[in-house]
Amino acid sequence: MISPTGTQETSMVEPERTPRSSLAAASADAVERPADDDPALNPAIDDPILEIDRISLWYGAKQALKDNSLKIATNRITAFIGPSGCGKSTLLRCINRLNDLIDEVRIEGQIRFEGRNIYDPEVEINALRKRIGMVFQKSNPFPKSIYENIAYGCRIQGIHKKSVLDEVVERSLRGAAIWDEVKDRLSESALGLSGGQQQRLCIARAIAVEPDVILLDEPCSALDPIATAKIEELMEDLKKDYTLVIVTHNMQQASRVSDYTAFLYLGEIVEYGETEKIFLKPMKQQTEDYITGRFG
């Protein structure tokens, strides 16, 4: 992927940018036209696995998301970037309905997963969350053994045969690139693992139930550079089998690992497109101001 400070030349003609505006009025530039008509918000994505369609969200009287639309490409990594409080994690949590657990939340719009609105009253939420897994900012292994952490999802689905669980545990730990580090410690507490190992264990636990989509909410924010590099390498491997959506404050991370990037500001998607174009030739002045450090 391309670093935001990279100097790689490209033959692409620089798109016309909107006029520079003051930061106080910057949000007015976010959405000037419907997303379907604005090339800065509508990259060509064929057969998306997820379609977010005019999603707005309120916490009580406070609006946190404002009429956002985008398509998520299958077997690709999509990153949400933007300053603190811009709505990145809120939008991510909409995708598997975790915001339903918060009191006084109101949501308008649709999110279609494989063509079906996940907010349809007939959608079974636990079945949805099996297919759209979540890895949180702070690793949260259960106070159980490493083995039982991975087997937990299968057990609650009624799978108890040891040979099946053994296969799932090994496959998941291998898939999360941690098998070699823990294969002789499966009966030990997961809480004894390092921070980076715990985060990879949580990823293994998520893939144990074979989801289609994995959501990652700042999965490297509490990790050191070595552990972060392992998680980033793992994400590249995982996208062969899964679709990944990641929230990150680290723009360098977004440029390294993601295929598509959405920049959010004050609850609105300002620009969305291929990561290389977002970081090298953004269409919106506000996007360029953010990725070059002029604000945020």
Kindly give the confidence (pLDDT) of every residue in the chain, 296 residues in length, as a single tens digit, with 9 standing for 90 and above: 544 444 444 333 343 444 433 333 444 444 444 545 788 888 999 889 999 999 999 999 999 999 999 999 999 999 999 999 999 999 999 999 999 989 999 999 999 998 999 999 999 999 999 999 999 988 899 999 999 999 999 998 899 999 999 999 999 999 999 999 999 999 999 999 999 999 999 999 999 999 999 999 999 988 889 989 999 999 999 999 999 999 999 999 999 999 999 999 999 999 999 999 999 999 999 999 999 988 76
| 287 Cβ contact partners less than 8 Å away, ≥ 6 residues apart | 40, 263, 270, 271, 278
pLDDT of residue 296: 63
pLDDT of residue 15: 38
SS (H, E, C) 263-284: EEECCEEEEEEEHHHHHHCCCC
Rounded distance between C-alpha atoms, residue 195 and residue 223, angstroms = 7
pLDDT of residue 13: 38
Joined together, the tokens standing for residue 288 give 């360029």
Task: Give the DSSP H/E element, type plus range, for residue 67.
Answer: strand 62-72
